[in-house]
Structure 1
């Protein structure tokens, strides 16, 4: 099967000097995606069975997912054009809706009380129906409406995990309320209470009780509240609405700084196959007024994200969104991901609901923060130091607060959460030995067989800025985990297994530009007996392609023991390049020993810059930067 190639209108570099894109480009991509999936629709149009590996939930679930998520995209497109639908998208989704909810039909969907994933997809269908009500729902016959209501009513009173999923129940029950179906005020209030419990400092939300900070904060936990508030038959209390409004406004200041000059979102967290969904909170902010961003900056950021992917192979030559990042790379998916999953990217097209004369479409594009100047920022909730450098357009995050875990509960490290660093230009190794042996952006202890420890469950001791550099600190008991014992599904978090304890490690990061001075200290021994043998401690640097692109180096600045350095080369472990190189440094440290390294990720152009220096005393470490400015940490 093959779709027509993506055809875009001419660029407008006067209105959009950074991307060249306008609203017409977004419309063209949306239409292209929707037309390209038509060959994969089932005979009665209730399923969109897209190619690629299936999810853990089976073919029926995946086909429903393909229908529901593309339906949302069609809804944004048609509603944004006040019902204009020259391609007849809604007629097709009407037919599929009726076939899928026919309990005796050959293409009946699994009900939400039969399959957990159907709870997710029911919300997409409900949202699409609410947005397109005059052109679809209101034209259904009464028995057809009853059939849809009956299928959706299975969510009423159902249990949902205390994560972003509570919004799926709220959205479905809001739809049911709007059409006179059954619904439960208690269900909605319970979901809103869960959401309130996920709120953290600075407008951030954690997707669950663990330290799970990722893109779900924007494309789910900030997306649904204000959208639901606009659709609700009983608008939320003004205090609750103002809180959501203020949370999104504050979050967007951080979110826009997590986009590289090439439009690449931060490569961190699960479900990255949703790609352009990272633009969703930007559009919701503009649509609801919950933003301080210039409308031209909003469009530049959102268009940059979408163009980042369209320029790099997503959609592919058949017009499909594959399981991957740029091009297909199925190994980065989670167990719940199937062929239709990438179409949650539809959320990134929410801006099509804004009319063509809205300022977000008519204001001249403004540069991203990383295009305007070098910057450094502290984000307290996830424990991140964010550093953007205009020279290479790369945004880096140094992480001292996120691991998709809980303090004091040691598990294996998830490569997408527990690393010390993430960026818009690199991807952690996602397959092979890295699952059992953290290498990139890590501090580990090696046992006699070379197995590396993990850090999940660490104590987050804060991030701050001393005016010269940003400094983060975390502490953990290094532990080995037999992750191979955990054969459960991959939902993005670290795996469990039998553990062995190693020494306590303190790690500080002092960040300035593209440089991080990483200081590691093995906790002093408390046993008055003979000293323990030195611990082999390894510091891993940034993962990069060996040839071309950003450069990664690890330079030892101080060490209380013999030092070795090297570079590990891995093949086929990430979606950005065929090979990945990770530099490292190793020192054998006694109790109380210190290893200080300069960990650098720099653009591919220009010569090497001068290094910082470190002086270590029993009380702490003093860092002298190349320009003579100083920073310090206390032990």
Structure 2
């Protein structure tokens, strides 16, 4: 059972707006938050410190797994704290040293499950190995020989184990690398196989697919980019590390160039992909760029991005009154739970504290904060691997992504849309509707039963920068999906079911600033399966000050003569009532072209929306005069099949 101690107290130093003009946050603030999180979690530790039983529902792996998870992930946070301040963190080292002993003692009935016994323990073993490697002088070297041998034996159960061909391969690589460094058994074959899988998932310019599907998300940053650099620190003379140093460093620097454009002026990272309960773990790649030296960003921008994320979440309820990280985005939101989520899972946010492993005199802590790209001016970026076009507007700090390349699936697969992957749009200021069938940034056919089509399995048709107007497109053979109730656990992919094919829908997004011109071409409508066409805009909370609108464009294709606002009157991760504007056909859709303008932003974006117009000779003008020739758009984005 957990021990009972008094509630921890958070004491913060004054904000320093000279060193940190954007956030006021300094290294002392980060240390205070880290210590508070650690002391708060330790209140729920067992008397021997081996297990931390945090309040809340268990994952599918059960309470033993969840208690190990809470220990390992808070230990990772503790290791960063100890590595950067070994003299001032003796209390942390002592607490976790006792837990490392009890957790791996085979005579302890409450010992941890080994990685050989439980799959989830493979994940947590990596946090323990990384943490011990970073604190070798202050923790590992001071453990008794008995405890070291216990830990080695526990870690050695990973040898020869199968790991899914996703970011998990790094969990085996770092554990066996640590074993090699402390005289344990290890397998070069395991390490080499993991590195080969890692490289096979590389898709260019710093981006990795998390497996064989088109699964692009924050795992690019907090896994595929962070672990190679931590591994390099663990084994700096390993020939494999030396051989890969340049390529891994270039991949990290490339990724960071993109990642900086995906942070909103409010400090939020892009709200897209699974495991969002890890929150400010999205800061980890910015820190590891400084830790490794593989970054083109200035230290002031790196700290601005990282501190902005921490400040964003802690101001919005990420910690509860007990000082515990909740399972949600802002506050607690059980609807974000995935099959592998337990009460300790949010503590992978510890990766966002990686900067504390850097000493107080490191340049990332002494440089003056600099503005994010979105705070300097409007941003535009095409990211090829995930098929994203990025538009940020400085006036409201909103970063928007139009998505034509990511669905956590493969082309031609017919499954339900994954809300966190398959939408047409994601942003730093809006949370996706978590229901699979939705009008959220959608182009759907709605049958007589009110069921909406899904686009997963679409074909990505490419992207281009047309003189400042970004463009990308995808073609989908849409499907109505009757979801299989026994489809299995939620690990991010769309849910399987029985598919009924609908029309073919090609969608083009032309964006400039806050405005999107959405062109849609429908083919294969059938009188036997009549369905209306509906296009949905951005999802915003009813209390939000953001403007979300969608309007038809007269003069382009067929008429869109129906409209409305769809509402979900139940709590969502950022509020209490979600609203999505939509337009569509009043009757059954027919083969043809359709067009709408879609906008999301602050009050100023309304002028952008009002100023967007269709001119003569198939020219479409944005409010500031940017123009695109619609006559060439369909020719540019011809399907390949």
TM-score (structure 1 length as normaliser): 0.95
Q: Distance in 2 between matches of 1:616 and 1:209?
A: 45
User: Equivalent residue of 2:361, what SS?
Assistant: coil
Q: What aligned pairs does 1:61-460 form with structure 2 within 5 A after superposition?
A: 61-86=65-90, 88-232=91-235, 234-236=238-240, 238-430=242-434, 434-435=435-436, 437-460=437-460
User: Equivalent residue of 1:135, what SS?
Assistant: coil
Q: Of 581, 584, 589, which residue of structure 2 is paired with 1:583?
A: 581
Q: What aligned pairs does 1:419-568 form with structure 2 within 5 A after superposition?
A: 419-430=423-434, 434-435=435-436, 437-523=437-523, 535-558=531-554, 559-561=557-559, 563-568=561-566
Q: Distance in 2 between matches of 1:561 and 1:300?
A: 47
Q: Distance in 2 between matches of 1:469 and 1:187?
A: 47
Q: Distance in 2 between matches of 1:535 and 1:49?
A: 51
TM-fit CA distance, 1:35: 0.8
TM-fit CA distance, 1:603: 1.2
Q: Distance in 1 between matches of 2:602 and 2:541?
A: 12
Q: Distance in 2 between matches of 1:591 and 1:252?
A: 44
TM-fit CA distance, 1:533: 7.6
User: Equivalent residue of 1:446, what SS?
Assistant: strand
Residues 448, 531 of structure 2: 8 Å contact kept = no
1:451-493 per-residue CA deviation (whole Å, 9 max, x = no partner) reads 0010111001111110131001000101011124344111121
Q: Distance in 1 between matches of 2:290 and 2:357?
A: 11
User: Equivalent residue of 2:261, what SS?
Assistant: helix
TM-fit CA distance, 1:562: 5.3
User: Equivalent residue of 1:371, what SS?
Assistant: helix
TM-fit CA distance, 1:46: 0.7
User: Equivalent residue of 1:491, what SS?
Assistant: coil
Provide the alpha-carbon RMSD of the alignment. 1.8
**How has the CA–CA distance of structure 1 residues 30 and 235 changed in structure 2, closer, same or farther, with 3 Å as cutoff?**
farther
TM-fit CA distance, 1:573: 4.8
TM-fit CA distance, 1:238: 4.0
Q: Distance in 1 between matches of 2:486 and 2:535?
A: 26
What's 1:602 paired with?
Answer: 601
Residues 429, 573 of structure 1: 8 Å contact kept = no
1:242-266 per-residue CA deviation (whole Å, 9 max, x = no partner) reads 1110011011011011111111111
User: Equivalent residue of 1:406, what SS?
Assistant: coil
TM-fit CA distance, 1:535: 4.2
TM-fit CA distance, 1:623: 2.2
Q: Distance in 2 between matches of 1:614 and 1:446?
A: 28
Q: Distance in 2 between matches of 1:611 and 1:556?
A: 14
Q: Distance in 1 between matches of 2:498 and 2:425?
A: 26
Residues 484, 498 of structure 2: 8 Å contact kept = no
Residues 532, 591 of structure 1: 8 Å contact kept = no
Where do 5+ consecutive residues of structure 2 fail to align? 636-641
Q: Distance in 2 between matches of 1:568 and 1:616?
A: 34
TM-fit CA distance, 1:572: 2.4
TM-fit CA distance, 1:622: 4.2
**How has the CA–CA distance of structure 1 residues 38 and 533 changed in structure 2, closer, same or farther, with 3 Å as cutoff?**
closer
**How has the CA–CA distance of structure 1 residues 573 and 428 changed in structure 2, closer, same or farther, with 3 Å as cutoff?**
farther
Q: Distance in 2 between matches of 1:189 and 1:282?
A: 27
User: Equivalent residue of 2:476, what SS?
Assistant: strand
Residues 27, 360 of structure 2: 8 Å contact kept = yes
Q: Distance in 1 between matches of 2:506 and 2:244?
A: 40
Q: Distance in 1 between matches of 2:503 and 2:615?
A: 23
Counting matched residue pairs gives 623
TM-fit CA distance, 1:613: 2.8
What's 1:630 paired with?
Answer: 627
User: Equivalent residue of 2:385, what SS?
Assistant: coil
TM-fit CA distance, 1:104: 2.3
What's 1:571 paired with?
Answer: 569
Q: Distance in 2 between matches of 1:249 and 1:524?
A: 45
Residues 445, 536 of structure 1: 8 Å contact kept = yes
Q: Distance in 1 between matches of 2:456 and 2:125?
A: 34
1:156-176 per-residue CA deviation (whole Å, 9 max, x = no partner) reads 000000001000000110111
TM-fit CA distance, 1:135: 1.9
**How has the CA–CA distance of structure 1 residues 512 and 428 changed in structure 2, closer, same or farther, with 3 Å as cutoff?**
same
Q: Distance in 2 between matches of 1:249 and 1:483?
A: 41
With 128-137 and 581-590 compared, the bigger mean Cα shift is at: 581-590
With 246-255 and 568-577 compared, the bigger mean Cα shift is at: 568-577
Q: Distance in 2 between matches of 1:338 and 1:400?
A: 32
**How has the CA–CA distance of structure 1 residues 541 and 534 changed in structure 2, closer, same or farther, with 3 Å as cutoff?**
same
Q: Distance in 1 between matches of 2:34 and 2:390?
A: 32
TM-score (structure 2 length as normaliser): 0.94
With 597-606 and 14-23 compared, the bigger mean Cα shift is at: 597-606
User: Equivalent residue of 1:61, what SS?
Assistant: helix
**How has the CA–CA distance of structure 1 residues 478 and 549 changed in structure 2, closer, same or farther, with 3 Å as cutoff?**
same
Residues 212, 404 of structure 1: 8 Å contact kept = yes
TM-fit CA distance, 1:549: 2.3
Q: Distance in 1 between matches of 2:575 and 2:527?
A: 45
Q: Distance in 2 between matches of 1:573 and 1:149?
A: 46
**How has the CA–CA distance of structure 1 residues 449 and 622 changed in structure 2, closer, same or farther, with 3 Å as cutoff?**
farther
Residues 72, 125 of structure 1: 8 Å contact kept = yes
Where do 5+ consecutive residues of structure 1 fail to align? none
Q: Distance in 1 between matches of 2:591 and 2:294?
A: 49
Q: Distance in 1 between matches of 2:170 and 2:375?
A: 35
